[in-house]
Amino acid sequence: MHQRLIIIAALGSACMLAAAFGFQYIGELPPCKMCIWQRWPHGAAIAIGLIGALVYHRAIALLGAAAALTTAVIGVYHAGVEQDWWEGPTTCTSGPVGDLSVQDLLTKILEAPLVRCDEIPWDLFGVSMAGWNAIVSFGLVAIWLAAATRR
């Protein structure tokens, strides 16, 4: 039973990555820097799930939960940046122009990211991709934690 839960959680991360790549390559929505950050923990969860499918150990399931929690937290942070609840990384969002010289303003424009983290390119029911990643990933955390418990 524990290994089945691990497989389900790892497949959940695989589906999340497949959706992200689908939006990128089929939907032509390139990812921002924070979107990429959210993908890495899903990749780690898949690798952890492959190990956990072969050999069950509670620590493996806890590592999977940590990976899923990491992407969930990044998703919450990213969704907050998109909603202007807090500032995001300056290398990924727009910021105040202030009293810049023409040259400094031109430099800022040229160094601006191609895909900004503070814009929502797609949403479903008012929830952005980052928000959906957080919601689904918190669900995956619950599955990983269920796999870590002994019954």
CA pair distance 39, 21, nearest whole angstrom: 10
Least confident of 8-12, 24-28, 83-87, 105-109: 105-109
CA pair distance 7, 49, nearest whole angstrom: 6
The pLDDT tens digits for 29-66 are: 888 889 999 999 999 999 999 999 998 889 999 999 99
Task: Report the pLDDT value the prediction gives residue 93, as an integer from 0 to 100.
Answer: 62
Task: Report the pLDDT value the prediction gives residue 86, as an integer from 0 to 100.
Answer: 86
Instruction: Give the pLDDT band (50/70/90) at residue 92.
Output: confident
pTM: 0.81
Task: Report the pLDDT value the prediction gives residue 84, as an integer from 0 to 100.
Answer: 85
Q: Which residues pair with 123 in a beta bridge?
A: 128
Q: What are the chain's domains? A: 2-86+101-148 (1.20.1550)
123: left (phi over 0), alpha (psi -120 to 50) or beta: beta
